[in-house]
Structures are given as C-alpha cells and as structure tokens.
A and B are shown apart, each in its own frame.
Chain A
Amino acid sequence: ETGVTQSPTHLIKTRGQQVTLRCSSQSGHNTVSWYQQALGQGPQFIFQYYREEENGRGNFPPRFSGLQFPNYSSELNVNALELDDSALYLCASSLSQREWDTGELFFGEGSRLTVL
C-alpha cells in the first residue's frame, strides 16, 4: 500500500505568479483534502474533493482552486500569489462513506511554498 506523496517538496515563487501543487492519494482512497499551515499554526482547511468533485470548501478565495483526477490524484492551484500564501500545503487522503470508516486523514509530507 503506497502512502500519500506530494510534489514539489519546496518551491519559491514571487508575488503575482501562479503555482500548482500535486498530490498522489493513498491507494483505494476516494477523498482528498488540502490544508494550508502557516508557521506555528494549525492546518486550515482549503477544500475537499470526493470522486472528482469539490464537496467542501473553507474560507479561501477563488484564486485557490483544485482538481481531482479519476485515479484520485489531485492538484492545488493558486493564482496571483500573495506574500501571505507562504505556508506548508498539506494534502491528505481518506476513505469516506463506509459505516466503519472513521474518515481518518493520511497526510503527505507537504509542499513548502515561499512567496517573495
């Protein structure tokens, strides 16, 4: 069973640029969630995809968008980068909709984005 993998692990962008972060879910998982974690804070929920459709979104502007593919891999896209977008971006996969599933999140190691 492969775990959750994210790429790239580190990247540096400048204000106004666009970035795409990628995530490969754990085998068999049908749900992917993305979180933003600023330094010293807890992860903040960005959005969640279930079977290729967004089915939950946190308090993030539309310039944060995502995709989930048929193989359950996922992308997070951020347009018009701002300095405050500097953070660790965590992808997590889970298995939903079975009575015995806790919906536990399995995390990747994150992509650390620095915006200059």
Chain B
Amino acid sequence: AQKITQTQPGMFVQEKEAVTLDCTYDTSDQSYGLFWYKQPSSGEMIFLIYQGSYDEQNATEGRYSLNFQKARKSANLVISASQLGDSAMYFCAMREGLYSSASKIIFGSGTRLSIRP
C-alpha cells in the first residue's frame, strides 16, 4: 500500500537560509509521481513541484528543488533563500499508477515551517 511519511512536525528557519523538508514514501509500483504542496494559514493548497519516478533529473521550480533519491525512497523538498512568506504547512504527496484513471494522490501529515526574520 502507498504511504507517505513526513517526520518533521515543525521547523524554524532564519530568513534567507536554505531549508530541507523530509519526505519518505513507500510503494510497490514502478510508475508513480511525487508532489509537494504548500498550505498557508488561509487554507488553500498550492502546488509547488512535481517529480516523476522515471525522471532522471531532480525537479526544480524557482527557489524550490526536489532531492529525489529513488533507491532510498525519499523526495525531500529544498527551499533556497527562505522568505517570510514561506511560513506555512508543507505536504508531500504521492500518486501511484500514473497512467490509470483510478490512481489517487495521498498526502503525508505535513511539516509546519516557520521563517524567523
């Protein structure tokens, strides 16, 4: 069964520093995708970055990069040069069976990131 684990309930980081949010996953499928979403206090879920299981290079989107280590089943999010607006909950998520209409996305328990000025 698919499972996402985020072991850091909360993190504090100084503004402008880089931060790594951990995510490990479990799946028996060869074809899957990994996502990171940001949820500010207002509640909306904001898509940040995506990594496919067959992608050979780590995904990057602006200040966000995904450190994908397939053998270790980890997909850590790296935020460079953190900003006050990065304070939010961050969720790692996975979709198994990428090309099936029945595949679903499941989420981890999240990490609350707080940026200190």
Chain A residues packing against B (C-beta within 8 Å): 31, 33, 35, 41-45, 48, 50-51, 55-56, 58, 88, 90, 92, 96-97, 99, 102-110, 112
- CB < 8 Å: which of A31, A48, A56, A88 contacts B43? A88
* Interface contact A42-B44, CB-CB below 8 Å: no
Closest chain A residue, CB of each to CB of B33: A102
Q: Which residues of A contact B93 (CB under 8 A)?
A: 105
Number of interface residues of B (CB under 8 A): 27
Q: Nearest B residue to A30 by beta-carbon distance?
A: B101
Most buried by B among A97, A102, A109: A102
B99 neighbours in A (Cβ, 8 Å): 97, 99
Determine if A42 and B102 form an interchain contact, defined as CB atoms under 8 angstroms apart.
no
Residues of chain A contacted by B70 (CB below 8 angstroms)? none
Given the known interface contacts A42-B109, A42-B110, A109-B43, the answer about A103 and B98 at a Cβ–Cβ threshold of 8 Å is: yes
Q: A-B pairs with the 6 shortest C-beta distances?
A: A107-B45, A42-B107, A55-B102, A96-B101, A50-B101, A42-B109
Query: CA of A99 to CA of B100 in the docked complex: distance in angstroms?
Result: 10
Are B101 and A97 closer than 8 Å at their CB atoms? yes
Answer whether residue B104 sits at the interface, using C-beta atoms and an 8 A cutoff: yes
User: Is there a chain A Cβ closer than 8 Å to B13's Cβ?
Assistant: no
| B contact residues vs A (CB 8 Å cutoff) | 6, 33, 35, 37, 42-45, 47, 50, 52, 91, 93, 95, 98-110
A104 touches B35 (CB 8 A): yes
Cβ contacts under 8 Å, B50 to chain A: 102, 104
Closest A residue to B91 by beta carbon equals A42
Partner of B47, one of A45, A48, A51, A104: A104
Asked if A41 and B110 sit within 8 Å, CB to CB, the answer is yes
Pairwise interchain contact B91-A107, C-beta atoms closer than 8 A:
no
18 contacts between A and B (CB under 8 A): A35-B107, A42-B6, A45-B106, A50-B101, A51-B101, A55-B101, A92-B45, A96-B103, A97-B101, A99-B99, A102-B35, A102-B52, A102-B95, A104-B50, A105-B35, A105-B45, A107-B37, A110-B43
